[in-house]
Structure formats: structure tokens, C-alpha cells
Structure 1
Amino acid sequence: MPVTVISPIALITGGNRGLGRNAALALARQGTDVILTYRSHADEARAVVSAIEALGRRAVALPLDLTDIGCFAAFADTVRQALASHWQRDDFDFLLNNAGSGAHASFADTTPAQFDLMSAVHLKGPFFLTQALLPLIADGGRILNVSSGLARFTLPGYAAYAMMKGGIEVLTRYQAKELGARGIRVNTLAPGAIETDFGGGAVRDNHALNALVAGTTALGRAGLPDDIGGAVAALLAPGSGWINAQRVEASGGMFL
């Protein structure tokens, strides 16, 4: 009798654009089905779903606002329903905490509102969303938290953002320790400067900034979305299961 192969399922926050979109497509090419979330731009989310389906994989897009912790229990129920209706499963395999936004302001000028937004999106949101989704993550699954090269090197204007990313890196180690009994591996991926629309597309569109990044990177250029999508796929590939509680920087060797 033919053997039925069950494809892994990844849930990617902020999968409608930028690095999340690229990660979703890279995972789909690797044979993974995708549940992606979006806060706005539902049309972009539908386009990603279509692109994943064109690759022969299944995908669903669900709305989610990471700043609204009160909605996480209902969101988990929606994920449970999507798993049952689209995959006839009650769990998924990979969680990629990717969704984010930037705030550029000096330490002296950072406002409480900016600080609170960075905390909600990059630290508090992923903390409690992962908590809400834990019953749906398969034993032996994986969590990949997205940090930033800015948690290692320092550029003026990113204190609040980088502080939250540093917190995510600490959280990763605690999650790996506490979820190890279920065989769940947890790692951090820290992208460097990437040519996307993040931060208004500064790295992509500002030629002076792009040249600065290239000049401080061992490989001599700024990063591209495919560089990060490929790194995500590699860290969630079957052969990387012994990598756990690690911070992996994908920056091309920036500020060595």
C-alpha cells in the first residue's frame, strides 16, 4: 500500500510581506504547508496564499494584531479550526515569530508610546502568543523567534527596538529549556540589514545607507530577502533538529 506522507505545517506571523513572505515561500518550496497571519493588507496575504498554492502546498491566511493580547485565545481557536478543516489535524509543527515593526529614535527622544509599541510587537506579543499556541504545537516541533543583528551590534536610533530583540533572545533560551521535555526545539534567527520595505525601505532605497551596510559586511553587500527565507528553511529543515537554544545571525558577517 502507498505510504501517506504528512507535510509539516508552519505558522508564520506577519507572513504577508517582507521577510515573512519570503520565509513562507522558502518553506513551501521545501514541502511545508503554511498558516500565515497579517494585521492589514489582506490582499497581500491572499497573494502569498496563491503563490504557495502554485508551489503545490496548502496555505491559509488569518488576521492577527500582535498588540491585542486579549484576542490570542480566540486566535488559537481559529487556528484550531483551520487545522481541522484544511488539514484534518489538531496541531502544527513550526511557529515562526516574525511579525514586527520599527521605530527609529534616539534614546533621548524615544517616547513611552514608541517604547510600548516595540514591547507589544516584539516582546510581549510573541511571549503570550506562543503561550496561547503551545497546546497546538506538535511534540517534536520547533519555534523560531526572529531577532536582529542590532541586538549584537549598536547603531544609534534603535535602542528600544534592539532592547526588545535582546529580550527575545533570552526568552528563546528559556523556552528551549522549559519545552525540551516535549521535544520542541527553540532558536533565534537574527537578520542583519536586509533590502525590504522595513523601516520605510531605508536599506533598499537609500543608496548611502546601502553602501554603508555593504562596506561593513564581510560579503560586501546588504542582505536580500532570499538570504533570510533560505536561513529560515535551513533552520526548520529535518536535518537541523539538534540545533537548539541558539542564536543564528544571518547578516553576511556584518560589523565583525
Structure 2
Amino acid sequence: MTEPAPQTTPGTPASAAPRPLALVTGASSGIGRATAVGLATDGFDVIVHYGGNREGAERTAELADEAGAATALLPIDLEGLDDAAGFWDAVTAVAAERFGARQLDALVSNAGVDLRRPFAEYMHAEVVRLFQVNAIAPLHILQGVAAGVRPGGSVVAISSVAATQPLATSLPYGATKAALDHLVRATAALVAEQGIRVNAVSPGAVDTPLQQPERIALLRERGIAASPEEIADVVRTLVSPATRWVTGQVIDATGRPLR
């Protein structure tokens, strides 16, 4: 598989004492953008991954730049990602070009797709796409964590309440997130001796481009839909040293008691 060459954006050059480096996948909008900008505010330089929405990624990079970060764009189509090297070779290249040869301090695996329809109407290709982007691509990303993230670093994946509370019109999506939860717990055990923490955040309804605006507006009126920034705050907490004893966990971020 041939990946597009990494591309960089202007910003402050790396200093003698570089800021920690974070990578956020699916950072063109929504939770990914809010997380990238939030981590920039927390003192990280940021690699902004995107699939097809370059304009959105550039806007995210601009906002992170304004927050004090040096940034780089990383275009990788996760629908075509079929091995770990396809992802991590590109990450290594952009990190070396823009930030010097160093490992990530934080990785946020946020990119995902959703599709809502009656279960009986899902087509095979649609189910394959959901699993490819939401579970298989993250699997390949997690395969490279031991080499790509420094000891003491943090990995956070964005899961969903649908993994444990099935939604009638989104059953394949929930299955992909259940697979992701398993991968997070398993990877946390595999890299624990290296001091790398791996956790997931499980939101409920969030006001992102994946959601129907009318549904989100109704849920926000009822106080049960989060903003991207509110979920990003949970991610930032898991990245921070304040949660250095937390790993292998799927953190409920629905704002509601567990059933």
C-alpha cells in the first residue's frame, strides 16, 4: 500500500528543550479537533492526522498553532490501512522532518465512522468499512505503540457507549467499539512493562459531524449530549500525569450513571 507523503505546516521550530509530542487521529473536526487544540494548550506539539478533510485538518492546525504548538499534518486513509507499517512509517517520517527523531508522548486514536439504519438493511461493504476504520485500523495503530510511544507515554482511544449498550440502528458500529475496548485492555497489558498507559474514553451522544443535528439539539436540551470539548477534557486528563496509575480502563463519559 502506498501512502501519501506527510505534509507539514508552518509553526514555531522545535527548541533545545522540545515540548512533548502528541498525535491525534481524525483531528479534522469534532472530538479530534477539540483534543488536538486542548493538548496544544496543555503544552504539546501536535501531529494532526486526517483522512480526506484536509481543509478541516488545516483549521485544526491553525487553532493548535494559536495555542502555542508546533504542528504537522499527517494524511493517511485509514480505510486502506492494512498493516502497522503503513501508519507508523508515515508517523516516523513526519516526526523526523518536523520535530526531530523522537517518539510520541501521547497518541489519541479518535478517527471513526458511523452508519445508522435498521440492522437487517446493512450491506456487507458497509459493515466491512465500519470494522476497517473503527477496529482494524486502530488494531494496526496499537501494534506499533511499543516502538512509537516513549516509556511513560499515554495512549487513549475513543470508544462509545454503544459498545456496551447496543443501539438498535447502529449495531455494527457498537460491535466495532466493543472490539476496540478489548484491544485497549489487551494492549495495555502488553506494554505495561514499558511504562506505556493505554485507556479508552466511552462517550454517549456528542455534538460531532457524525451525529444528526436535530437529534443532538434535542439531547442537548435534555442535558444528555456532550460537546467535543467536554470529551476532550477527559482525554486530556488521561494523557496527563494526574492519571499515571490508570491503564487498561474504558472510562465512561456519558454523564449518566451506569445502568
- Common fold by TM > 0.5: yes
- Per the alignment, residue 234 of structure 1 pairs with 237
The 8 Å contact of residues 187 and 245 in structure 1, kept in 2 or not, is answered as yes
> Number of paired residues?
245
- Per the alignment, residue 95 of structure 2 pairs with 83
**Secondary structure in 1 matching 2:252:** strand
Give the partner amino acid of 1:241: R
2:52 paired with 1:45: no
Task: Report the alpha carbon displacement of residue 251 of structure 1 after superposing the two structures with TM.
Answer: 1.3
2:151 paired with 1:139: yes
Task: Report the alpha carbon displacement of residue 233 of structure 1 after superposing the two structures with TM.
Answer: 0.8
- Per the alignment, residue 9 of structure 2 pairs with none
The 8 Å contact of residues 81 and 87 in structure 2, kept in 1 or not, is answered as no
Task: Report the alpha carbon displacement of residue 213 of structure 1 after superposing the two structures with TM.
Answer: 6.6
- Using the TM superposition, name which of 85-94 and 184-193 deviates more: 85-94
Q: How does 1:17-166 map to 2 (within 5 A)?
A: 17-70=29-82, 72-132=84-144, 134-166=146-178
Task: Report the alpha carbon displacement of residue 90 of structure 1 after superposing the two structures with TM.
Answer: 2.5
- Per the alignment, residue 185 of structure 1 pairs with 197
Identify the match of residue 206 of structure 1 among 207, 214, 226: 214
Task: Report the alpha carbon displacement of residue 155 of structure 1 after superposing the two structures with TM.
Answer: 2.2
The 8 Å contact of residues 69 and 129 in structure 1, kept in 2 or not, is answered as no
**Secondary structure in 2 matching 1:86:** helix
Distance 1:93 1:212, change over 3 A: closer
Which runs of 5 or more residues in structure 1 are unaligned? none
- Per the alignment, residue 248 of structure 2 pairs with 245
Give the partner amino acid of 1:77: D
Give the partner amino acid of 2:237: A
| Percent of aligned pairs sharing the same letter | 29
Provide the TM-score with structure 2 as the length reference: 0.87
What is the rounded CA distance, in whole Å, between the counterparts of 2:258 and 2:142 in structure 1?
32
Task: Report the alpha carbon displacement of residue 6 of structure 1 after superposing the two structures with TM.
Answer: 3.5
Distance 1:213 1:51, change over 3 A: closer
* CA deviation string 1:169-227 (max 9, x = no partner): 1111110111111111110111110112113xx1xx215x6435754xxxx34211111
Task: Report the alpha carbon displacement of residue 51 of structure 1 after superposing the two structures with TM.
Answer: 1.2
What is the rounded CA distance, in whole Å, between the counterparts of 1:107 and 1:85 in structure 2?
46
Distance 1:244 1:174, change over 3 A: same
What is the rounded CA distance, in whole Å, between the counterparts of 2:121 and 2:132 in structure 1?
19
What is the rounded CA distance, in whole Å, between the counterparts of 1:165 and 1:95 in structure 2?
18
What is the rounded CA distance, in whole Å, between the counterparts of 1:188 and 1:242 in structure 2?
14
- Using the TM superposition, name which of 85-94 and 227-236 deviates more: 85-94
Task: Report the alpha carbon displacement of residue 99 of structure 1 after superposing the two structures with TM.
Answer: 0.3
Give the partner amino acid of 2:33: R
